[in-house]
Amino acid sequence: MDELARILGRKPDEDQQTVWKGMDPATRKRTARRLRAIMDWDDASQGLTAVAAAELAGVGISRFYKMAAEWRDTGSLEALGTVKGASGRRATKLDAATINALQSVVPKVVAQNDGVPVTGLVKLMVAAAGVRENLPGKMKLREIVETELRRREATARGGESVALDCCAISWARSQDRPYCVFVVLDRGTRCILGHHVGAFEEDLGGYASAVLDALDGIGDLPVDWSSSMRALQIVTGVDEPAYAELVDRLETEHAISAKRASIHRRFGRYLREIAGLRIDTIAFTPSRTASGGPVLVNGAPDVRDEDEVRSLVARAVAAYNSRVLAGHRRKGEPSRQLIDVLGVIARMPD
């Protein structure tokens, strides 16, 4: 148990202790190897690429991405695929509404309770969210708080950690499909660096347009810019191999930690975490992103002209940025690394 605690950096929760105790020595060794690789990869200070982490874990790169995503979602040792009969399945099913409620209140809870231990913040978060049923395990609750603590630690500087997400919205471009908004999010300041309104099928082209919007307006934002870029996360679209190539290239050529979210329920995950699923008049509908019809309003899709939607989204994003950047002052310039990374993404569809 001491070895597991050392890897996690804390005492394992009850479920983790039970699974660990039930392992034979060889299984524990494989489990520790995989878990250590994931933890080191998640820690940007280690400078470990996904390819190197997969090699340390003893699995292929695709399997490593899936394994790491499942570990982050469930916190179960069974997610590591070393327990007989557990590989490839989720150990627990998290309630989406509960997770959304917790993530929506955690920034305020952490901001108003500086210095309170993680255990105390977890209790305050649960109370503020007002949820009593379908709560995730202790590991997941701690993860939500610790993620926010890490985000706040980076808030002094913008451009250090960036996330790209795409998500359907309530306005429809046709009777059959909603508009999709592609966004470039800054984790440190929680502002939206750039956006694009289009169709999900635009895929990398949609992200490229959002990145170009970011590059066009990045000089006008009142942000204290980091001198370097540390990490990038991207929600994948249709062309999965292209995203894998992009992530590998960014890690190899630009020395950042680059990760892609490719699990089924990935759309809107960074929006939900950083900005929320409603920004002024924009209502995001993650489950309709890749397929399905638009939201019905009075029994029919709310079909809007593209120019109108782009104008509405632009105004909503501007209002949102004004709120989250209120009181901020510009300091320094966006790092060369940030500009170069965004430039690579902007050129991907070519």
pLDDT in tens, the chain (350 residues): 688 888 888 888 877 888 898 898 899 999 999 999 998 887 765 678 888 888 899 988 878 877 887 787 678 888 898 876 444 434 345 677 888 889 889 988 887 786 788 888 999 999 999 988 888 887 788 889 988 887 666 555 799 999 999 999 999 999 999 999 999 999 888 999 999 999 999 989 999 999 999 999 998 999 999 999 989 999 999 888 999 999 999 999 998 989 998 877 899 999 998 899 999 889 999 999 999 899 998 889 999 999 999 999 999 999 999 999 988 889 999 999 999 999 999 998 77
Cα–Cα dist 230/264, whole Å: 26
Regarding whether 76 and 108 lie in a shared domain, the answer is no
Regarding whether 225 and 106 lie in a shared domain, the answer is no
Regarding whether 283 and 175 lie in a shared domain, the answer is yes
Regarding whether 297 and 193 lie in a shared domain, the answer is yes
Domain-ending residue, one of 80, 105, 134: 80
Cα–Cα dist 323/342, whole Å: 25
Cα–Cα dist 145/149, whole Å: 6
Regarding whether 331 and 208 lie in a shared domain, the answer is yes
Regarding whether 274 and 194 lie in a shared domain, the answer is yes
DSSP string for 234-282: EE--S-HHHHHHHHHHHHHHH--EEEEE-STT-TTHHHHHHT-SEETTE
| 87 belongs to a structural domain | no
Regarding whether 166 and 119 lie in a shared domain, the answer is no
Strands, DSSP E only, in the chain? 161-172, 178-186, 192-198, 231-235, 257-261, 278-279, 282-283, 296-297, 300-301
Q: What is the pLDDT of residue 90?
A: 41
pTM of the full structure: 0.60
Cα–Cα dist 343/340, whole Å: 5
Domain that includes residue 32, residue range: 2-80
Contact criterion met (CB below 8 Å) for 199 and 181:
no
| 91 belongs to a structural domain | no
| H-type alpha helices, 58-130 | 61-74, 96-112, 118-129
Regarding whether 63 and 136 lie in a shared domain, the answer is no
Cα–Cα dist 67/39, whole Å: 12
Q: What is the pLDDT of residue 114?
A: 66
| 88 belongs to a structural domain | no
Contact criterion met (CB below 8 Å) for 268 and 182:
no
Regarding whether 170 and 133 lie in a shared domain, the answer is no
Number of domains making up the chain: 3
CB burial of residue 19 (10 Å; 0-12, 13-18, 19+): buried
Regarding whether 173 and 105 lie in a shared domain, the answer is no
Q: Which residue has the tokens 């209120």?
A: 326
| 175 belongs to a structural domain | yes
| 214 belongs to a structural domain | yes
Regarding whether 305 and 188 lie in a shared domain, the answer is yes
End-to-end CA distance of the chain: 51
Regarding whether 121 and 254 lie in a shared domain, the answer is no
| Residue 22, amino acid | G
The alpha carbon dihedral of 9, 143, 14, 60 has a sign of negative
Cα–Cα dist 286/278, whole Å: 11
| 41 belongs to a structural domain | yes
| 258 belongs to a structural domain | yes
| 178 belongs to a structural domain | yes
